[in-house]
Amino acid sequence: MQAEEAWGERWVFNTLPMARTYMEVACRKQSLVCLAADRSTMDGLNELIDQVGPSIAALKTHVDLVDDWTAESWKAFCAKAAAADLLIFEDRKFADIGGISRKQMAGVYDIRSWSDLVTAHLISGPDIVDGLQAGWHDVGREGGVLLLAQMSSRGNLLEPEYTDKVVAKGKDHAGVFGFIGNGSRPEELALLRAKVGEGKLIWTPGVNLAVGDGEMGQRYGDPTEAIMAGSDCIIVGSGIHKADDPASQAQAYARASWDAFVSR
């Protein structure tokens, strides 16, 4: 299916190049799955791409949790992800003032040089988005910012009034790719979609085929329900990377996400 036809209003209203790129990748792969690749070794991470690359559209990383990280091995890992037609999303949750966030895109990990997407809190104000965009532009690259409007963990402090403010400030900002919503609660997600409107993307962690409570306050909702409530990408971690057979689990999540998307 052509991305333009499949995504409809989302395609028309979201003109950020990286958003369009995601919409195209999702259609090529027939998958609205982002794998949270939370493995602590480079071998473990590379193995995941080999196993599940064809079934996912994006790879979410936490670059600072890898024990044997080196600049060279990371470069090779990113090249492998690109060859597998995957967006790379560093879930860095930036939160500082604009100018420092720009500098934090450089540094040892040099996130600006390989990430297509990053997450940010809007707690310090909207200039953080400009700072992160400037970070990519410093190395001649394009990227997109996902603002945390909700979180999946229990007891988090992103109350509805805070969510409203994040959406109000982020909705019309050209550098904003979209928002992080709570995948574990479809009713909260539907409210978020209503506030966001049809333009920006909503990506949702806290999704698992086994619904319920996870480790240390994580909560899980059903992938189909999340997409039906307005999510444009389900972020799945342990549901795939801790499975006995990650490849077949990734296929199951891809199928659930795509079927729900098509019927939505």
List residues bridging with 203 in a β-sheet.
180, 233
How far apart are CB 6 and ligand 5BU at their closest, in Å?
Answer: 25
206 burial class (0-12, 13-18, 19+ CB within 10 angstroms)?
buried
Of 98 and 237, nearer to ligand 5BU (C-beta) is 237
Kindly give, in sequence order, each residue whose CB lies less than 8 Å from that of residue 216, ignoring residues fewer than 6 positions away. Answer: none
Q: Which of 93, 169, 171, 195 is catalytic?
A: 93
- Hey, what amino acid is at 256? A
Using rule CB under 6 A, residue 91 touches ligand 5BU: yes
93 is a catalytic site residue: yes
Using rule CB under 6 A, residue 243 touches ligand 5BU: no
Q: Which stretch binds ligand 5BU (CB under 6 A): 73-81, 135-143, 149-157, 243-251?
A: 149-157
Q: What angle do CA 110, 63, 227 make, to 5 degrees?
A: 110
How far apart are CB 28 and ligand 5BU at their closest, in Å?
Answer: 24
Binds ligand 5BU by CB under 6 A, chosen from 235, 252, 254, 260: 235
Q: Are 46 and 77 in contact (CB under 8 A)?
A: yes
Which positions from 56 through 75 interact with ligand 5BU, judged by CB under 6 A?
none
Using rule CB under 6 A, residue 24 touches ligand 5BU: no
How far apart are CB 91 and ligand 5BU at their closest, in Å?
Answer: 5
Q: Which stretch binds ligand 5BU (CB under 6 A): 7-15, 67-75, 187-195, 230-238?
A: 230-238
Using rule CB under 6 A, residue 249 touches ligand 5BU: no
How far apart are CB 257 and ligand 5BU at their closest, in Å?
Answer: 14
Using rule CB under 6 A, residue 238 touches ligand 5BU: yes
State both tokens at 7.
């995504």
For ligand 5BU, how many residues bind (rule: CB under 6 A)? Answer: 18
How far apart are CB 190 and ligand 5BU at their closest, in Å?
Answer: 17
Residues in contact with ligand 5BU, shown as a per-residue x/- string from 165 to 184 under the rule CB under 6 A = ---------------x----
Residue nearest to ligand 5BU (CB): 237
Residues in contact with ligand 5BU, shown as a per-residue x/- string from 191 to 220 under the rule CB under 6 A = --------------xx-------x---x--
Residues lying near ligand 5BU in the complex (CB under 6 A): 36, 38, 91, 119, 148, 151-153, 180, 205-206, 214, 218, 235-239
The catalytic residues are 93
